[in-house]
């Protein structure tokens, strides 16, 4: 039998450069976590004055960016933390990482020489201050590019055509529309840019001291790649901006080696010079890897800054809603995903308004209210929502005398406010009923065989219970809620193995038959329970989607 073991006494490091923090997870050769670290942008790097890791630009509607240099300084800080821990960085055989998807970095002409000659006596942040043609990176929360989205869709023959070509219709946060906006509104920035990186390929570039390729999975979040051929699409490139292909560089598969770690890190932090940097990818694709999601009936729900629902399929049907990406851990198949912008930060806001800023109170409210919330339905948007495309605002409705058996003859009434416990339940039921409804409409399994929950809010048992009763299936969690950095560490090991074997090997060969002995194992955290309740929720969900459709007709823009 072929040996797929990893070299003993070696480590595999995975990062996650996300909206609010930079995280790191280190796995040993048995795939057990031996270290983890966190740099929280707002509190560890307060001089950038971000809130939740971002700047919300009050002068331009929907513009949300992050300071590019903050991500660089976070890496400086993280490597200091790791080298001051007990971990021997010299034993790290491979590194990979996750980036928040869609965010982009604009390297100024001439910066490749700065990258290739980093001075190990200085911090990265002190050397890269002049390396970017714009200091602010547009990120996934941005919604300022509606005009560019419509222009791009029109140029390629419509929204559905673009979705079938690239895996998604044009979305405001997607990198293609963001690049087009920079080209249209700041042409000097565009022309002065020699390379555009995603957050994922950006940090990989720092680590190899040269421009890293963009990986095919994260590239599918740009509206620029031909999803089936896995090459830049000429039609999409032309619809976006002139001379773009040379600024993007080449594509690579997620398991490919981006390069060896740059001498800077060998000298400054004592990494081994043979340490491999494996292509970085998006945070959601890496979560899929970290959750070992490989069965088409399984779904993952990630409850981080954004909420996402994703699974895998062999036969994707790109539509106007949802996203299709190449499978990040296999040469075959696809990843399908839905994304909500109003995730954890909106839960925090409702907690702060109605539950005295405490998760304990929030959970007590969930426990003391009944499923179906006495017919109360809420829509809570603190940010312009992606799914459905609705502006900021709260909307509340009540079906009087609702018992969950029938909605025949019942009309909803709009109300100003609920009592605090009902606000909390309306938020949570609303978020997961919307997920269930849209997931079914997108062709995701219903009910799923099981759900694996991850992200910061997956540590909340009351939320997990609600997911189980609304979706009607068991909910599992992994040992730690940061599956994106865990998945990145696992992909680092996978990339190392593929390089060592000289060919692609399935990622599962590393943990087959021993999953339970690794830090990748899942545990049952909430059970599906009452089937009758699941049907009642189906009715409630139908009604919610009807109200949602009316709200979109009245207030939406797509």
Residue 256 · residue 278 · CB < 8 Å: yes
Runs of H (alpha helix) within 192-303: 199-208, 216-219, 234-240, 244-248, 263-269, 283-290
Judged by beta carbon, residue 265 or residue 432, the one nearer ligand ADP is: 432
Residues that bind ligand ADP (CB under 6 A): 18-21, 304-305, 344-345, 347-348, 359, 455-457, 459-460
Say whether residue 283 binds ligand XUL (CB under 6 A): yes
Supply φ then ψ for residue 107, to 5 degrees.
Answer: -85, 125
CB of 471 vs ligand ADP, minimal distance in Å = 18
* Nearest-approach distance from CB 139 to ligand XUL, in angstroms: 8
100 near ligand XUL, judged by CB under 6 A:
yes
Shortest distance, position 354 Cβ to ligand ADP, whole Å: 14
Neighbours of 352 (CB within 10 A): 12
* DSSP classification of residue 51: B
Residue with the CB atom nearest ligand ADP in the bound state:
456
Q: Is 205 in the site for ligand XUL (CB under 6 A)?
A: no
Residue 18 binds to ligand XUL (criterion: CB under 6 A): yes
Considering only residues 36 to 75 of the shown chain, the ones binding ligand XUL according to CB under 6 A are none
8 Å CB contact between 449 and 516: no
User: Which entry of ligand XUL, ligand ADP, none binds 285, CB below 5 to 8 A by partner kind?
Assistant: none
3-state secondary structure of 423: helix
Considering only residues 19 to 38 of the shown chain, the ones binding ligand XUL according to CB under 6 A are: 19
Whole-number Cα distances in Å, 158 to 148, 320, 383, 557: 13, 10, 26, 16
- The torsion angles phi and psi of 288, rounded to 5 degrees, stand at -55, -40
Count residues binding ligand XUL (CB under 6 A): 15
* Interaction partner, residue 62 (ligand XUL, ligand ADP, none; CB < 5-8 Å by kind): none
440 membership: H or E segment, kind and range? helix 420-441
CA quadruple 341, 195, 262, 507: dihedral positive or negative?
positive
Nearest Cα to 545, choosing from 437, 444, 395, 397? 437
Which one of ligand ADP, ligand XUL, none is in contact with 55 (Cβ closer than 5 to 8 A by kind)?
none
User: Smaller CB distance to ligand ADP: residue 148 or 454?
Assistant: 454
178 near ligand XUL, judged by CB under 6 A: no
Q: Is 5 helix (H, G, I), strand (E, B) or coil?
A: coil
User: Between residue 451 and residue 510, which ones bind ligand XUL under the rule CB under 6 A?
Assistant: none
**How far is CA 142 from each of CA 125, 147, 167, 324, 491, rounded to the nearest angstrom?**
25, 13, 20, 20, 29
Evaluate whether 98 touches 18 at the Cβ level (below 8 Å): yes
Determine, following the binding rule CB under 6 A, whether residue 173 of this chain makes contact with ligand XUL: yes
Rounded least distance, CB 140 to ligand ADP, Å: 10
Minimum distance between the CB of residue 174 and ligand XUL, rounded to whole angstroms?
A: 8
Candidates 114-122, 235-243, 281-289, 417-425 — which segment interacts with ligand XUL by CB under 6 A?
Answer: 281-289
Residue ranges in 400-459 that form contacts with ligand XUL under rule CB under 6 A: none
Name which of 296 and 420 has its Cβ closer to ligand ADP.
420
Asked if 306 interacts with ligand XUL (CB under 6 A), we say yes
Residue 347 CB, nearest approach to ligand ADP (Å): 6
For residues 314-341, b (16+ Cβ closer than 10 Å) or e, as one string? eebebbebbbbbbbbbbeebbbbbbbbb
Residue 215 makes contact with ligand XUL by CB under 6 A? no
- Among the listed ranges 29-37, 98-106, 389-397, 498-506, the one in contact with ligand XUL (CB under 6 A) is 98-106
- CA 148 centroid distance within chain: 23
Contacted by 359, from ligand ADP, ligand XUL, none: CB < 5 to 8 Å by type: ligand ADP
Please, which residue, 101 or 233, has the CB nearer to ligand XUL? 101
Question: Cα separation of 298 and 336, whole Å?
Answer: 12
Q: Establish if 142 lies at the interface with ligand XUL (CB under 6 A).
A: no
- d(CA 511, CA 504) in angstroms, rounded, equals 16
Q: Which of residues 332-391 bind ligand XUL (CB under 6 A)?
A: 339
Q: In 382-530, which ranges are E strands? A: 393-399, 412-415, 450-454, 475-478, 522-526
Comparing CB distances to ligand ADP, the nearer of 457 and 473 is: 457
Binding interface with ligand XUL (CB under 6 A): 18-19, 100-102, 140, 173, 221, 282-284, 305-306, 308, 339
């Amino acid at each position: 039998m072929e040996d797929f073991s990893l070299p003993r006494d070696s480590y595999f490091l995975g990062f996650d450069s996300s909206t609010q923090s930079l995280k790191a997870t280190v796995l040993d050769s048995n795939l057990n976590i031996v270290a983890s670290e966190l740099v929280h942008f707002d509190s560890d790097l307060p001089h950038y004055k971000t809130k939740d890791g971002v700047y919300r630009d009050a002068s331009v509607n929907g513009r949300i960016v992050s300071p590019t240099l903050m991500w660089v300084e976070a890496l400086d800080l993280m490597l200091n933390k790791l080298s001051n821990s007990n971990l021997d960085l010299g034993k790290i055989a491979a590194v990979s990482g996750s980036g928040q998807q869609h965010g982009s970095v604009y390297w100024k002409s001439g910066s490749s020489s700065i990258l290739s000659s980093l001075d190990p006596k200085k911090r990265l942040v002190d050397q890269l201050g002049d390396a970017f043609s714009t200091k602010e990176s547009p990120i996934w929360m941005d919604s300022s590019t509606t005009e560019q989205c419509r222009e791009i869709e029109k140029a390629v023959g419509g929204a559905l055509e673009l979705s079938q070509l690239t895996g998604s219709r044009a979305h405001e946060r997607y990198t293609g529309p963001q690049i087009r906006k920079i080209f249209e509104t700041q042409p000097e920035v565009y022309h002065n840019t020699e390379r555009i990186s995603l957050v994922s390929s950006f940090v990989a570039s720092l680590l190899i001291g040269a421009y890293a390729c963009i990986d095919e999975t994260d590239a599918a979040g740009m509206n620029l790649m031909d999803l089936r051929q896995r090459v830049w699409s000429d039609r999409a490139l032309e619809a976006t901006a002139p001379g773009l292909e040379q600024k993007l560089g080449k594509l690579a598969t997620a398991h490919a080696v981006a390069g060896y770690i740059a001498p800077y890190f060998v000298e400054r932090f004592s990494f081994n010079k043979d340490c491999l940097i494996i292509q970085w990818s998006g945070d959601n694709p890496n979560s899929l890897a970290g959750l070992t999601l490989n069965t088409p009936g399984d779904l993952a729900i990630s409850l981080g800054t954004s909420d996402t629902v994703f699974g895998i399929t062999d036969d994707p049907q790109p539509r106007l809603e949802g996203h299709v990406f190449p499978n990040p851990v296999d040469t075959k198949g696809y990843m399908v995903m839905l994304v909500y912008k109003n995730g954890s930060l909106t839960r925090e806001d409702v907690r702060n308004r109605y539950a005295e800023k405490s998760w304990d109170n929030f959970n007590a409210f969930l426990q003391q209210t009944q499923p179906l919330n006495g017919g109360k339905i809420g829509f809570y948007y603190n940010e312009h929502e992606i799914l459905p495309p609705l502006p900021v605002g709260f909307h509340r409705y009540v079906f009087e005398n609702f018992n969950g058996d029938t909605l025949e003859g019942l009309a909803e009434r709009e109300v100003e406010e609920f009592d605090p416990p009902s606000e909390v339940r309306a938020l949570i039921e609303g978020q997961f009923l919307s997920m269930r409804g849209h997931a079914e409409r997108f062709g995701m399994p219903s009910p799923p065989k099981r759900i694996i929950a991850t992200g910061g809010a997956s540590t909340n048992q009351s939320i997990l219970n609600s997911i189980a009763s609304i979706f009607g299936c068991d909910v599992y969690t992994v040992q730690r809620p940061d599956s994106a950095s865990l998945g990145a560490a696992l992909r680092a090991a996978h990339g190392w193995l593929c390089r060592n074997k000289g060919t692609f090997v399935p990622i599962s060969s590393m943990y087959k038959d021993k999953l339970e002995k690794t830090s990748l194992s899942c545990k049952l955290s909430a059970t599906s329970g009452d089937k009758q309740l699941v049907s009642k929720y189906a009715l409630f969900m139908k009604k919610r989607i009807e109200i949602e459709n009316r709200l979109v007709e009245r207030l939406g823009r797509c």
